[in-house]
Amino acid sequence: MQQTIKADKDWRIWWQLTRPHTLTAAFAPVFLGTMIALTYGSLHFPLFFAMLIASILIQMATNMFNEYYDFKRGLDTEDSIGIGGTIVRHGVKPKVILNLALLLYGISVLIGIYICMETSWMLALVGGVSMMIGYFYTGGPYPIAYTPFGELFSGVVMGMLLILIAFYIQTGTVTIHAVLLSIPSMILVAAIMLANNIRDVEEDTIGGRKTLTILVGRTHAVTILTLFFVISYGWIIALVLFGQLTPWALLILLSVKKPIQAVSTFRKHVLPLQVAPAMKNTAITNTLFGLLLGIGILIGHLF
């Protein structure tokens, strides 16, 4: 009985290490890019699933690199909010986490080789650069996450680039239409990083980071987050008004409650534990937005 309980606990520890609440940031863009591609022709489902699995594995690995390097730099403690906590709370050796992250990268490379064989080897370069950014986000001598450019890099790679790769492997091209539809996703992924930095502003300041939130101040950072949400929703509404999307794309409005709640929470509270729901609602916004937009595009295509 005790062994069963211990095994269950171990499983939960390793699952928590992947930071599962962030994995939808990998799923939603791939789904959306594939739905956009559907309007151009039939889908290659093995490529869709390969892309989806590789993206999730890379996101998991990036989270593990984050866990490893933040611990090494002394940023993570037992009281830190929003971390996997496998090192500081559960005593897992840092080297084990680093090796596991590298293993996940290795598996994603193998999947990437399959995708390149079926499409174009040009994707090897794009994928390689994306993986390097994932590693250097918290790794290396000058981590991207410690600069004001964390939101930009994460938004471009995990938002826009994932959509365009998912679109490309289905169609063999990249269109202006696909780029336009990827912009809100880019902004919303950046919003996730910004919300995380707003929550951790005091801890990051002590740790020596120079994030966008620290650069402009917490109040202005919340205002920027608000603008991110407004632009994302307004962008799709504008595309509908200009006839680039069917009115079904307005299904995204079903998710508008979440960003409102996120901003409201950041305005009312300051402590990391108090604003944790705002971080969660920002991540949910990205997921719901991508899924609803993808569904809206699918329905508009079918009917």
Has residue 177 got a pLDDT over 80? yes
Average pLDDT for residues 112-117, to the nearest whole number? 96
pLDDT in tens, 19-38: 777 787 788 999 999 999 99
Is 157 within the bounds of a domain?
yes
Is 150 within the bounds of a domain?
yes
pLDDT band at 290 (very low <50, low <70, confident <90, very high): very high
Average pLDDT for residues 176-203, to the nearest whole number? 94
More confident residue, 131 or 49: 49
* Number of other CB atoms surrounding residue 138 within 10 Å: 23
pLDDT in tens, 201-229: 988 888 788 999 999 999 999 999 999 99
User: What range defines the domain where residue 34 resides?
Assistant: 8-302
Dihedral sign for Cα 253, 186, 23, 220, please. Answer: negative
Is 2 within the bounds of a domain?
no
Average pLDDT for residues 254-266, to the nearest whole number? 98
Is 206 within the bounds of a domain?
yes
CA distance readout (Å), 203 to 80, 148, 272 = 9, 16, 9
pLDDT band at 286 (very low <50, low <70, confident <90, very high): very high
Is 146 within the bounds of a domain?
yes
The distance in angstroms from the start CA to the end CA of the chain is 55
Backbone φ, ψ for residue 133 (5° rounding): -65, -40
Residues in the chain, total = 303
In angstroms and rounded to an integer, the radius of gyration of the C-alpha atoms of the chain is 19
Number of structural domains (the chain) is 1
Is 3 within the bounds of a domain?
no
Q: Where are the alpha helices (DSSP H) in the chain?
A: 2-17, 24-38, 45-72, 94-118, 122-136, 150-154, 162-171, 176-199, 201-206, 212-216, 218-241, 257-268, 272-302
Average pLDDT for residues 257-283, to the nearest whole number? 95
pLDDT for 5: 38
Q: Pick from 133, 163, 159: which is nearest to 66 by CA?
A: 133
Rounded to 10 degrees, the C-alpha dihedral 65/66/69/70 comes to: -160
Average pLDDT for residues 259-267, to the nearest whole number? 98
pLDDT for 139: 81
With a CB cutoff of 8 Å and minimum separation 6, the contacts of 92 are: 13, 17, 86
Average pLDDT for residues 224-248, to the nearest whole number? 97
Is 179 within the bounds of a domain?
yes
Would you call 110 exposed, middle or buried from its count of C-beta atoms within 10 A (0-12, 13-18, 19+)? exposed
pLDDT band at 3 (very low <50, low <70, confident <90, very high): very low
Has residue 42 got a pLDDT over 70? yes
Q: What's the whole-number average pLDDT of the chain?
A: 88
More confident residue, 177 or 83: 177
Has residue 80 got a pLDDT over 70? no
- For residues 66 and 43, what is the distance between their CA atoms, to the nearest angstrom? 34
